[in-house]
């Protein structure tokens, strides 16, 4: 079956008509966000970069006060580069994912020192800077420099999957969706077009109940024509996703701190914190072998029940083991001590713990 809807009157229209209609709508309805450039002013790459880094895995509402405080305190990339890292981290506190703040500072220094304060303008150059992945590079290139780039995140994937009625499930459909999004992007106003898609995905083409009746793309939208809008994009059914299993170790020190570890930057949940665990694999290793992978030596006992979580391409079930250990307990080789730290229980909410790990911590610490 083709990934793209069979010829629909809507889907066969020139793409430029869809882009034109979307941009006309956006010129009237665009969200007024503090990092957006007022009409007639040249975009400021520093502001756009700062907002895009803050927006990674965080909502617009949460970002606005941080963005405004950062900008008031460090109005230029040079000012941010000259700030001590500790001050930047303190100003970032509460926004989570602290590796982003470290990379933000590293990147500001590099731009100030090696690029004379000017951000490069192409995605290929931007993606080489600390903390900038393909999405952020495309967003900065398009919005700040008008480069013909198309940032594609989950919101834009959803809009494009519907517009073209792409029936291939995610994540396999990602390359198709990127190609289709790129084909839609007009040669002029690429940055406005990217922001228009973002606004459409956030406001009208929402995950559960898309507002097709007031959507500027309704006449171009194959999913709407086929009555499929709320069902796309497809995700593999939970039962089809392979199951991985493992043991997670909730180590609680007598001073009330819990052992957390930072995951490697690359890969699933990259740079976020976790409770140390065995590898997540098809089958559990024998218990004595699994317990040898514990991050500290102690009396480990199984917390009844387990923690289940569904990722896009697999299901995970973790058995949780818990130990209360003395304050001076050394970490084992398996803990990978350089990536570990002890975090007070009361501060856990402010840490960059993904939801699966929040479930593990809650399960491991609950009173039996
Ligand atoms: Fe999304 Fe509906 Fe607009 Fe299609 S018509 S893009 S499904 S809101």
How far is it, in rounded angstroms, from Cα 360 to Cα 308? Answer: 9
Regarding predicted confidence, which is higher, 203 or 235?
A: 203
**Residue from 298, 164, 156 nearest 223 by CA:** 164
Q: How far is the CA of 99 from the centre of ligand 1 (A)?
A: 35
Nearest protein CA to atom 2 of ligand 1, as residue: 212
Say whether pLDDT at 8 is over 60: no
**Mean pLDDT of all residues in 87-111:** 86
**Residue from 351, 365, 366, 338 nearest 274 by CA:** 351
Confidence of residue 2 (pLDDT cuts 50, 70, 90): very low
Nearest 5°: the CA angle 338, 339, 341 is 95
Q: How far is the CA of 178 from the centre of ligand 1 (A)?
A: 18
Min mean pLDDT across 191-195, 229-233, 364-368 is at 364-368
**Cβ < 6 A, ligand 1 pocket:** 159, 162-163, 204-205, 210-212, 215, 217-218, 221, 223-224, 229
Chain centroid, CA 263 distance in Å: 15
Q: What is the pLDDT of residues 271-281, one digit of tens each?
A: 778 999 999 99
**Mean pLDDT of all residues in 249-261:** 96
The catalytic residue among 13, 24, 29, 52 is 52
Confidence of residue 15 (pLDDT cuts 50, 70, 90): low
Residue 368's pLDDT is 63
Regarding predicted confidence, which is higher, 110 or 237?
A: 110
Ligand 1 mutation pick, 197, 206, 208, 218, max ligand atoms within 8 A of CB: 218
Min mean pLDDT across 44-58, 177-191, 226-240 is at 226-240
How far is it, in rounded angstroms, from Cα 270 to Cα 332? Answer: 23
Q: How far is the CA of 307 from the centre of ligand 1 (A)?
A: 36
Ligand 1 mutation pick, 10, 184, 223, 227, max ligand atoms within 8 A of CB: 223
**Mean pLDDT of all residues in 155-159:** 95
Nearest protein CA to atom 4 of ligand 1, as residue: 221
Confidence of residue 268 (pLDDT cuts 50, 70, 90): confident
Q: How far is the CA of 211 from the centre of ligand 1 (A)?
A: 7
**Mean pLDDT of all residues in 243-259:** 96
Give the percent of the chain with pLDDT over 70.
95
What predicted TM-score, i.e. pTM, was given to this entire model? 0.70
Residue 91's pLDDT is 87
Residue 117's pLDDT is 95
Q: How far is the CA of 212 from the centre of ligand 1 (A)?
A: 5
Confidence of residue 1 (pLDDT cuts 50, 70, 90): very low
Q: How far is the CA of 228 from the centre of ligand 1 (A)?
A: 10
**Residue from 171, 132, 135, 140 nearest 152 by CA:** 135
Nearest protein CA to atom 7 of ligand 1, as residue: 229
Kindly give the number of the ligand 1 atom that is closest to the alpha carbon of 216.
Answer: 3
Confidence of residue 7 (pLDDT cuts 50, 70, 90): very low
H-type alpha helices, the chain: 15-29, 45-55, 60-73, 77-82, 85-92, 98-114, 123-126, 134-145, 154-163, 174-184, 190-203, 222-225, 287-291, 355-365
Confidence of residue 9 (pLDDT cuts 50, 70, 90): very low
Q: Tell me the backbone φ, ψ of residue 346, rounded to 5 degrees.
A: -70, -15
Ligand 1 mutation pick, 196, 204, 231, max ligand atoms within 8 A of CB: 204
Residue 95 and residue 54 in contact, taking contact as beta carbons nearer than 8 Å: yes
Kindly give the number of the ligand 1 atom that is closest to the alpha carbon of 210.
Answer: 8
Is 113 catalytic? The answer is: no
């Amino acid at each position: 079956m083709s990934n793209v809807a069979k010829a629909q009157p809507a889907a066969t229209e020139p793409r430029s008509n869809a882009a034109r209609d979307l941009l006309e709508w956006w010129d009237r309805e665009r969200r007024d966000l503090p990092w957006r450039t007022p009409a007639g002013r040249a975009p400021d790459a520093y502001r756009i970069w700062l907002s895009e880094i803050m927006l990674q895995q965080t909502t617009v509402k949460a970002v606005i006060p941080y963005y405004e405080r950062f900008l008031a305190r460090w109005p230029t990339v040079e000012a941010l580069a000259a700030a001590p890292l500790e001050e930047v981290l303190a100003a970032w506190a509460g926004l989570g994912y602290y590796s982003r703040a470290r990379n933000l500072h590293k990147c500001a220094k590099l731009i100030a020192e090696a690029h004379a304060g000017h951000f490069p303008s192409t995605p290929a150059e931007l993606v080489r800077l600390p903390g900038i992945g393909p999405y952020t590079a495309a967003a900065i290139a398009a919005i700040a420099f008008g480069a013909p780039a198309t940032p594609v995140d989950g919101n834009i994937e959803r809009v494009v999957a519907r517009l073209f009625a792409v029936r291939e499930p995610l994540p396999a459909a990602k390359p198709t969706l990127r190609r289709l999004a790129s084909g839609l992007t007009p040669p002029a106003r690429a940055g406005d077009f990217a922001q228009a898609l973002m606004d459409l995905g956030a406001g009208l083409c929402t995950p559960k109940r898309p507002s097709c009746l007031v959507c500027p793309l309704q006449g171009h939208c194959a999913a709407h024509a086929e009555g499929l809008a709320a069902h796309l994009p497809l995700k593999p059914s939970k039962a089809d996703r392979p199951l991985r299993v493992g043991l997670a170790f909730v180590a609680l020190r007598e001073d009330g701190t819990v052992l957390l570890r930072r995951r490697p930057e690359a890969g699933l949940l990259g740079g976020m914190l976790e409770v140390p665990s065995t590898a997540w694999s098809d089958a559990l290793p024998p218990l004595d072998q699994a317990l040898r992978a514990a991050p500290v030596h102690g009396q480990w006992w199984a917390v009844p029940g387990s923690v289940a979580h569904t990722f896009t391409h697999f299901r995970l079930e973790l058995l949780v083991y818990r130990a209360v250990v003395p304050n001076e307990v050394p970490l084992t080789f398996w803990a990978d001590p350089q990536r570990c730290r002890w975090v007070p229980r009361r501060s856990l909410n402010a840490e960059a713990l993904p939801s699966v790990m929040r479930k593990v911590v809650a399960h491991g610490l609950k009173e039996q």
